[in-house]
Structure 1
Amino acid sequence: MTDDEPGGPICSAKGCRAAAVWALRWNNPKIHTPERRKVWLACDEHRAGLSAFLDRRDFLRDAVPVADLTDRDG
C-alpha cells in the first residue's frame, strides 16, 4: 500500500487526515527499554509540531520517511 492509496498511513496529529510522510520514532525512557521504538506518523505540515512535542519530553529518537519503515518498526 502506498501513501496515496485510500487507507494508506495518515498523520497522527489530532483531526488531520493527510497522508503521512514522516515516521517519528520515539520512546519514553521511564517505561520503555532503550531499543523500543513507538511511532507517530506525520504529514509535512505537522512534522515540526509533533517532533517538538516529543523532543520537549526527551522522547524523540529520530524521524525517517514513512517509506523507510520496516515491519519491525513500531
Structure 2
Amino acid sequence: MTDVCSAKGCQAPAAWELQWNNPKLHTPDRRKIWLACDDHRQSLSDFLGARGFLKDVVSHR
C-alpha cells in the first residue's frame, strides 16, 4: 500500500512528511505528521506555518 498525500482529494504518492504539533494540545516533543506530494508540499506547509504548528519538513521514505 502506497502512502498518499494528506491534501483533500489528492491521491498522489507522498514524497514529504510535514511534522507539526499544536502547542495548546501537544507536549513540545510530540510530532503529528501530514504527508504531502510535491504539488501540495508548499500549500500544506503554509497552512501549518501560518498557525505556528509546522516544526519540520523531511523526505518521506
Same fold (TM over 0.5): yes
Structure 2: which 5+ residue stretches go unaligned?
none
* Shift >4 Å, 4+ stretches: none
Give the paired residue count: 61
Residues of 2 paired with 1:64 and 1:9: CA distance?
15
Residues of 2 paired with 1:34 and 1:51: CA distance?
19
Aligned sequence identity (%): 61
Which structure is higher in strand share?
2
Query: What is the root-mean-square deviation in Å for CA atoms of aligned residues?
Result: 0.4
1:12-51 matches, within 5 Å, as 12-51=6-45
Larger radius of gyration: 1
Give the partner amino acid of 1:9. Answer: D
1:57 matched to 2:61: no
Structure 1: which 5+ residue stretches go unaligned?
1-6, 68-74
Cα offset for 1:66?
A: 0.5
- What TM-score do you get using the length of structure 2 for normalisation? 0.98
Which structure is higher in helix share?
1
